[in-house]
């Protein structure tokens, strides 16, 4: 699944996220969204953390 996500991000948005970064960040949807926002140059909206 991670390989497919990496390929889609590369082909659709032209961004690279190394596979190990998914492991370090925890791999939740929220973590993945934050990584994508950072790579795109957008600032994610602040939200309360659990």
Tokens of 41: 């140059």
Q: What is the pTM of this model?
A: 0.67
Number of structural domains (the chain) is: 1
Whether 47 is covered by a domain: the verdict is no
Whether 48 is covered by a domain: the verdict is no
1-50, pLDDT tens digit by residue? 788 989 999 999 999 999 888 888 777 888 888 888 889 887 656 666 55
- Gap between the Cα atoms of 18 and 45, Å rounded: 23
Whether 50 is covered by a domain: the verdict is no
Torsion of CA 36, 33, 21, 24, to 10 degrees: 160
Tokens of 38: 């950072």
Whether 14 is covered by a domain: the verdict is yes
């Amino acid at each position: 699944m991670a390989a497919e996500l990496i390929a889609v991000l590369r082909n659709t948005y032209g961004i690279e996220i190394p596979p190990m970064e998914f492991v370090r960040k925890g791999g939740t949807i929220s973590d993945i969204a934050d990584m994508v926002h950072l790579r795109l140059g957008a600032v994610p909206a602040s939200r309360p953390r659990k």
